[in-house]
Structure 1
Amino acid sequence: MTDDVDAECERYDELIKEAGGVDIQVLGIGNNAHIGFNEPTINFEKGTHLVQLEDSTIEANSRFFDNIEDVPKKAITMGVGSIFKSRKIMLIATGENKAEAIYNTVYGKVVPEVPASILQFHSDIVLILDKEAAKLLKEEDYKIA
Structure 2
Amino acid sequence: MVVRVFHTATALANTLAADVARALRSNPRLVLGLPAGRTPIPLYDELARLHRAGRADFRRARAFNLDEFVGVTAKHAGSYRAFMRRHFFDRINVPKARVDAPRGGARDVERECARYERAIARAGGIDLQILGLGLNGHVGFNEPASALIARTHRARLSLKTRRANAPLFGDRVSAVPREAISVGMATILEARRVVLIATGESKAAAVHQLVEGPVTTRLPASLLQLHPRAEIWIDRDAASRLRGARAAALRRLRRSRRGRSRGRRAAARARGSR
The residue number in structure 2 matching 1:110 is 215
Deviations 1:57-99 (A, max 9, x none): 0011112221222212110000111111111111011111111
Instruction: Give the secondary-structure state (helix, strand or coil) at the position aligned to 1:11.
Output: helix
The residue number in structure 2 matching 1:3 is 107
User: Contact 1:44 / 1:81 at 8 angstroms: preserved in 2?
Assistant: no
Distance (Å, rounded) in 2 between the aligned partners of 1:44 and 1:52: 12
The residue number in structure 2 matching 1:20 is 124
Instruction: Give the secondary-structure state (helix, strand or coil) at the position aligned to 1:76.
Output: strand
Which stretch shows the higher mean deviation, 30-39 or 131-140? 131-140
Give the number of aligned pairs.
144
| Equivalent in 112, 118, 140 of residue 36 of structure 1 | 140
Tell me the TM-score normalised to structure 2 length.
Answer: 0.51
Shift of 1:45: 1.5
Distance (Å, rounded) in 1 between the aligned partners of 2:123 and 2:209: 33
Shift of 1:138: 3.0
User: Contact 1:89 / 1:124 at 8 angstroms: preserved in 2?
Assistant: yes
Instruction: Give the secondary-structure state (helix, strand or coil) at the position aligned to 1:127.
Output: strand
Shift of 1:139: 6.2
The residue number in structure 2 matching 1:60 is 164
Tell me the TM-score normalised to structure 1 length.
Answer: 0.93
Runs (4+) off by over 4 Å: none
Distance (Å, rounded) in 2 between the aligned partners of 1:42 and 1:98: 22
The residue number in structure 1 matching 2:239 is 134
Confirm or deny that 1:125 pairs with 2:230. yes
The residue number in structure 2 matching 1:79 is 184
The structure carrying a bigger helix percent of its residues is 2
Distance (Å, rounded) in 2 between the aligned partners of 1:38 and 1:13: 15
For 2:154, the aligned partner's letter is L
The structure showing larger relative contact order (alpha-carbon pairs under 8 Å, at least 6 residues apart) is 1
What's the % identity of the aligned pairs?
Answer: 40
Deviations 1:95-132 (A, max 9, x none): 11111111111111111011001001111122121111
Which stretch shows the higher mean deviation, 59-68 or 18-27? 59-68
Distance (Å, rounded) in 2 between the aligned partners of 1:64 and 1:77: 18
The residue number in structure 2 matching 1:91 is 196
Instruction: Structure 1 unaligned segments of length 5 or more: list them.
Output: none
What root-mean-square deviation, in Å, do the aligned CA atoms of Structure 1 and Structure 2 show? 1.4
Instruction: Give the secondary-structure state (helix, strand or coil) at the position aligned to 2:165.
Output: helix
